[in-house]
Amino acid sequence: MAEPTLAGPAVLRRSPLAHLEERLRAATVTGDRGVSLAEWPYITMVSVRAEPGSQAAARIEKALAADLPRVCGETTTAGPHTVLWLGPDEWLVVSQAEHPCLTAELAQALGGDPGSVVDVSANRTTLELSGPAAREVLEKGCALDLHPRAFGPGNAVATQVGPVPVILWQTDEAPSYRLFPRSSFADYLARWLLDAADEYARPEVTGEYARPEVT
Amino acid sequence: MLLINCPWCGPRDETEYHYGGQAHVPYPGNPADLDDRQWAEYVFYRDNTKGPFAERWMHGTGCRRWFNVLRDTVTNEVLASYRLDEARPEPQQAAAQAGGPR
pLDDT tens, residue by residue, B3-57: 999 999 999 999 999 999 999 999 999 999 999 999 999 999 999 999 999 999 9
CB contact under 8 A, A159 and B16: yes
pLDDT for A59 beyond 50: yes
B5 touches chain A (CB under 8 A): no
- Per the CB < 8 A criterion, the answer to whether A193 and A137 are in contact is yes
CATH fit for domain A20-41+125-199, picks 3.50.50.60, 3.30.1360.120, 3.30.1490.190, 3.90.79.10 = 3.30.1360.120
3-state SS assignment for residue A82: strand
Domain boundaries, chain A: 20-41+125-199, 44-119
**Best mutation target, A49, A145, A157, A185, to test chain B (most B CBs within 10 A):** A157
Residue B90: pLDDT band with limits 50, 70, 90: confident
> How far B9 CA sits from the closest chain A CA (Å)?
5
State the Cα–Cα distance between residues B45 and A81, nearest whole angstrom: 50
State the Cα–Cα distance between residues A79 and A94, nearest whole angstrom: 11
- Counting residues of chain A whose pLDDT is more than 90, the rounded percentage is 82
pTM for the whole structure? 0.87
State the Cα–Cα distance between residues B19 and A42, nearest whole angstrom: 35
Q: Walk me through the domains of chain B, giving residue ranges and CATH numbers.
A: 50-102 (3.30.2270.10)
Q: Which residue in B41, B38, B65, B70 sits closest to B53, CA to CA?
A: B70
State the Cα–Cα distance between residues A124 and A181, nearest whole angstrom: 5
Residues 6 or more apart whose Cβ sits within 8 Å of residue A98: A44
CB–CB contacts below 8 A, A to B: 37
Per-residue H/E/C for A101-140: HHHHHHHHHHCCCCEEEEECCCCECEEEEECCCHHHHHHC
Q: Which CATH class is domain A44-119?
A: alpha beta
Q: Which residue in A43, A57, A181 sits closest to A102, CA to CA?
A: A43
pLDDT tens, residue by residue, A10-30: 778 889 999 999 999 999 999
Residue A210: pLDDT band with limits 50, 70, 90: confident
Residue B97: pLDDT band with limits 50, 70, 90: low
